[in-house]
A and B are shown apart, each in its own frame.
Chain A
Amino acid sequence: MPLAFSPTTVPVVVDEAKCIADKGCTVCVDVCPLDVLRISDLTGKAHMKFDECWYCMPCEKDCPTGAVTVNIPYLLR
């Protein structure tokens, strides 16, 4: 049984112009209790890789440049 790719709209959004992950910052990735953020190999910026969010907000609060915004997941909105 092959696996399908099911798209979801993710709650955590990163402003790539503000994100400094390409300078070595990993704060949002480090503080997420569910470990759902990653730094993209392509862009060098943080992004939400896994749609498994508790909308708890340490990623947004601890981001040193204000690049991260946490929205309520669509199914709850």
Chain B
Amino acid sequence: MDNFVEGLSEVTCDVLVIGGGTAGPMAALKAKQKNPALNVVLLEKANVKRSGAICMGMDGLNNAVVPGYATPEQYTKEITIANDGIVDQAPVFKYASRCYDIIQELDRFGIRFQKNANGDFDLKKVHHLGTYVLPMPNGDTVKKALYRQIKRERILVSNRFMATRLLTASDGRIAGATAVNTRTAEFLVLRAKTVILCMGAAGRLGLPHSGYLFGTYENPTNSGDGYAMAYHAGAALANLECYQINPLIKDYNGPACAYVAGPFGAYTANSEGNRFIESDYWSGQMMQEFYNELQSGKGPVFLKLNHLHADTVGEIEEILHKVERPSRGRFHQARGTDYREKMIEMHISEIGFCSGHSASGVFVDEFARTTVPGLYAAGDMASVPHNYMLGAFTNGAVAGEHAAEVALETDLPDFDSEFVKAERKRVLAPTRREDGIPPNQLEYKTRRLVNDYLQPPKVTARMRIGQARLAEVRDDLETALVARNAHELMRSLEVSSILDCADMAAHASLFRTESRWGLYHNRVDYPKKDDDNWFCHTLLRKVDGRLVSEKRPIQPYIVPIENEERTAYDRLRVSNQA
């Protein structure tokens, strides 16, 4: 295993789904159900059984819009306000209207959600305004339940193939993708009528404080490959300057508090044990308050549970230590930290792109269509803000159904064989060198530069230096990167995605000359929010081989927002403290 094998094969299908984590299996399932005659291929870098952000499971739905608790209108309003108004509401409203069907479908798959004594879904309030959090007591079964459905529908699964670039036809339509085997480096051309990208977040962009490359908040397999592929295919990417930064248990890099422990009475506190934010729901504004407290004389910040009854803490541990990130209990055990005894130190994560928690992603409309005809995106890499796991499932379903319809009325597009030849040469270049720089060093340097120059507070001159230093790393990547086996080749290609994402982060951040979304886009030399000039999306795309950003107007709201509601998320700091 891992030795190089020369090989070039070609596969043809109707719908190609890239990424077998959360959105991908659902997209493949819905495409096949829409038309069982279609040939649907699900391509995955790891193994669909245990791949992606939810490889171990998930402890709850963070954004369930369930009748009796919330309406699609209320949810759309909350997400619009939480994102400083920079939202096309149509895809959010579509999600909010559709997600209850998906919850019921997942329930039928055997992923049970918490119900009260009457048998109704038992939702908890965590957001600033509405009630949307639904616990999943057996959330460790998610991947297995999905896998059963994939097998039942006879979706063709191709594991251990990493997609490298998208193919487009002479008229600009999507035509398929190229991929490389992660254990043999054999090259694969996949021709398709429609392609759905479900490749997760760009979670390996910043470097965690521990210095361990893989100790990231996101599953580090989500290295931004989808963002990079969409960019190189000419698709527009939205609001990349709106980074993802999350509050975490210091060093462990697992999510901490709000959605699981919050409803039980736990909260985020400063070193004096006092609350300093009104709502623990993750927003840029909340992260700015978190950052301010962290840097202040009352820092650092802690997760506080030691005021709760021991039985309550036990119940929280049962969820936190068993479902989404079960190694958390082991981390605390080794540190000798017990939630019952003292507060647990928290910190903020490295930066990343992820619409699951934030808003940056490949631009999509309410049918999950990107700006490239025939190309779709869903989940953490698509631009539907704060869409979380349920958004990945729901928008994956939307993408699968639409892509199936379009595939039916499309002939297999042609593709450029010269492009494939050049791409194969690019992909395999690190394997052709005898000597050079290994991917782990190139990756460390790239991500260290991201921390030093691109993470907020953002400063113009610093980001420009960062761009120059990253360009030097790119020269090394193109001329000296060496891979001694197929596994290192996978890592080499991931570094290439990480570097592309770093360049996009810098470019997008420099374009928007204002501050917005709290800490996510805190530009110190443009400290004010500037609605006159910047109440708009920014779209970034590749034009003639270069990064180009432009403004895009926000589509007229479907759900109107009153003036006094607009600033609700700007008032998160506990008022008697300030």
Interface residues of A (CB under 8 A from B): 1-3, 30-35, 38, 49-50, 52-58, 61-62, 70-73, 75-77
B448 within 8 A of A: no
Query: Would you give the shortest CB distance from A15 to chain B, in whole angstroms?
Result: 17
Query: Would you give the shortest CB distance from A75 to chain B, in whole angstroms?
Result: 4
Complex contact B327–A58 (CB within 8 A) = no
Q: Which A residues are in CB contact (< 8 Å) with B55?
A: 33, 56, 58
Query: Would you give the shortest CB distance from B181 to chain A, in whole angstroms?
Result: 11
Q: Which B residues are in CB contact (< 8 Å) with A52?
A: 213-214, 220, 491
Complex contact A72–B435 (CB within 8 A) = no
Interface string of B236-257 (1 = CB under 8 A from A): 0000000000000001110000
User: How far is B142's CA from A58's CA once the two chains are assembled, in angstroms?
Assistant: 13
B172 within 8 A of A: no
16 A–B contacts, CB within 8 A, in A order: A3-B435, A30-B47, A31-B50, A33-B46, A33-B52, A33-B219, A34-B214, A52-B491, A54-B214, A61-B56, A61-B326, A70-B330, A75-B210, A76-B215, A76-B252, A77-B335
Q: Which A residues are in CB contact (< 8 Å) with B436?
A: 1
Q: Which residue of A lies closest to B480 (CB)?
A: A1
User: How far is B56's CA from A62's CA once the two chains are assembled, in angstroms?
Assistant: 10
Query: Would you give the shortest CB distance from B395 to chain A, in whole angstroms?
Result: 22
Q: Which A residues are in CB contact (< 8 Å) with B327?
A: 55-57, 70, 72
Query: Taking A57-B326, A58-B50 as contacts, is the C-beta distance between A35 and B490 under 8 angstroms?
Result: yes
Pick the contact of A30 from B49, B219, B435 — CB < 8 Å?
B49
If over half of A's interface residues share one DSSP class (helix, strand or loop), that class is named, otherwise mixed; here it is loop
Complex contact B221–A34 (CB within 8 A) = yes
Query: Taking A33-B46, A33-B221 as contacts, is the C-beta distance between A56 and B334 under 8 angstroms?
Result: no
User: How far is B214's CA from A62's CA once the two chains are assembled, in angstroms?
Assistant: 21
Complex contact B56–A57 (CB within 8 A) = yes
User: How far is B210's CA from A57's CA once the two chains are assembled, in angstroms?
Assistant: 20
User: How far is B491's CA from A52's CA once the two chains are assembled, in angstroms?
Assistant: 10
Interface string of B133-151 (1 = CB under 8 A from A): 0000000000000000000
B325 within 8 A of A: yes
Q: Which residue of B lies closest to A30 (CB)?
A: B47
User: How far is B213's CA from A65's CA once the two chains are assembled, in angstroms?
Assistant: 30
Complex contact A56–B213 (CB within 8 A) = no
User: How far is B215's CA from A75's CA once the two chains are assembled, in angstroms?
Assistant: 9
Query: Would you give the shortest CB distance from A73 to chain B, in whole angstroms?
Result: 5
Query: Would you give the shortest CB distance from B136 to chain A, in whole angstroms?
Result: 17
Complex contact B212–A76 (CB within 8 A) = yes
B182 within 8 A of A: yes
B331 within 8 A of A: yes
Pick the contact of A35 from B49, B219, B435, B487 — CB < 8 Å?
B487
Q: Which residue of A lies closest to B436 (CB)?
A: A1
Complex contact A76–B46 (CB within 8 A) = no
Query: Would you give the shortest CB distance from A19 to chain B, in whole angstroms?
Result: 17
Query: Would you give the shortest CB distance from B191 to chain A, in whole angstroms?
Result: 26
Count chain B CB atoms within 10 A of each CB in A2, A34, A54, A70 and give the residue with the most.
Answer: A54
Q: Which residue of A lies closest to B222 (CB)?
A: A33
Q: Which B residues are in CB contact (< 8 Å) with A58?
A: 50, 55-56
Query: Would you give the shortest CB distance from B443 to chain A, in whole angstroms?
Result: 10
Query: Taking A31-B49, A38-B1 as contacts, is the C-beta distance between A50 and B219 under 8 angstroms?
Result: no
Q: Which A residues are in CB contact (< 8 Å) with B2?
A: 38
Q: Which residue of B lies closest to A52 (CB)?
A: B214
B431 within 8 A of A: no
Q: A33-B221, A52-B220, A56-B55 are in contact. List 19 more A-B contacts (CB 8 A).
A: A2-B435, A3-B482, A3-B484, A33-B51, A34-B221, A35-B160, A35-B490, A38-B1, A38-B2, A52-B213, A53-B214, A56-B325, A57-B326, A58-B56, A71-B330, A72-B252, A75-B210, A75-B212, A76-B253
Q: Which B residues are in CB contact (< 8 Å) with A38?
A: 1-2
Q: Which residue of A lies closest to B327 (CB)?
A: A55
Q: Which B residues are in CB contact (< 8 Å) with A3?
A: 435, 438, 482, 484
B7 within 8 A of A: no
Q: Which residue of B lies closest to A55 (CB)?
A: B327
Count chain A CB atoms within 10 A of each CB in B214, B334, B490 and give the residue with the most.
Answer: B214
User: How far is B218's CA from A54's CA once the two chains are assembled, in angstroms?
Assistant: 9
Complex contact A62–B50 (CB within 8 A) = yes
Query: Taking A38-B1, A57-B56, A58-B56 as contacts, is the C-beta distance between A33 and B50 under 8 angstroms?
Result: yes
Q: Which B residues are in CB contact (< 8 Å) with A54?
A: 214-216, 219-221
Q: Which A residues are in CB contact (< 8 Å) with B487?
A: 35, 49-50
User: How far is B484's CA from A62's CA once the two chains are assembled, in angstroms?
Assistant: 30
User: How far is B440's CA from A50's CA once the two chains are assembled, in angstroms?
Assistant: 11
User: How far is B140's CA from A76's CA once the two chains are assembled, in angstroms?
Assistant: 24
Q: Which A residues are in CB contact (< 8 Å) with B210?
A: 73, 75-76
Q: Which A residues are in CB contact (< 8 Å) with B182?
A: 35
